[in-house]
C-alpha cells in the first residue's frame, strides 16, 4: 500500500533534511548544496523547492525555477526505499503547475545520464510531454 503523500513548499526548517535526502538519494553533490544556498532559493519568488512527505518524513524533492524565458527543473530526488510509488510523478505534476502559473510555456530538466533510474523515469515521462533533446550539450561554470 502506498503511503499517504503530501507535497508542499519547503520551509527553512527543512533545509538539513533536504540536503540529507539528496545525499541518501544518490544525487551528485554540487557547490550549491549548502544551507545558505537553499535558504536563498526559498526566498526567491521565481523559484520553488517542493518536498514530498510520507510516513512523517521528507521522502522527495524537486526544484523548479522560472527565468522569464523557460521553466527549469532540478533535483528531482526520491529516497531509494520510496521509489516506484508515484512520488516523483506527483512532484512533477505539482512543479509543472507551479511553473505554468509563473508563465512557463516550455520546461527543461537537467538529468544526469549516468543515473539509470533517473534517465528511465524521464524517458517514461514522454507521455506527459517530456522528451530527450539530443541536440543539447551542457556547459557549467562554478565560482
pLDDT digits (tens, 9 = 90+) for 19-43: 999 999 999 889 999 999 999 999 9
Full-model pTM? 0.88
Q: Tens of pLDDT along 111-142?
A: 887 887 888 777 787 777 888 888 877 777 66
Segment 2-19 mean pLDDT: 92
What spatial distance separates the first Cα and last Cα of the chain, rounded to whole Å?
45
Length of the chain as a residue count: 143
Domains of the chain in sequence order? 5-128 (3.40.630.30)
> What's phi and psi for 21, nearest 5 deg?
-60, -45
Amino acid at each position: 500500500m502506498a503511503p499517504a503523500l503530501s507535497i508542499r513548499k519547503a520551509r527553512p526548517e527543512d533545509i538539513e533534511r533536504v540536503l540529507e535526502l539528496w545525499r541518501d538519494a544518490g544525487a551528485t553533490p554540487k557547490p550549491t548544496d549548502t544551507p545558505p544556498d537553499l535558504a536563498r532559493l526559498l526566498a526567491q519568488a521565481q523559484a520553488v523547492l517542493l518536498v514530498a512527505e510520507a510516513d512523517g518524513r521528507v521522502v522527495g524533492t524537486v526544484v523548479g525555477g522560472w527565468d522569464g524565458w523557460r521553466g527549469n527543473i532540478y533535483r528531482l530526488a526520491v529516497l531509494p526505499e520510496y521509489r516506484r510509488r508515484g512520488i516523483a510523478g506527483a512532484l512533477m505534476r505539482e512543479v509543472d503547475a507551479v511553473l505554468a502559473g509563473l508563465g512557463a510555456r516550455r520546461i527543461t530538466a537537467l538529468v544526469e545520464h549516468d543515473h539509470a533510474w533517473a534517465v528511465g523515469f524521464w524517458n517514461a515521462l514522454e507521455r506527459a510531454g517530456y522528451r530527450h533533446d539530443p541536440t543539447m550539450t551542457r556547459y557549467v561554470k562554478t565560482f
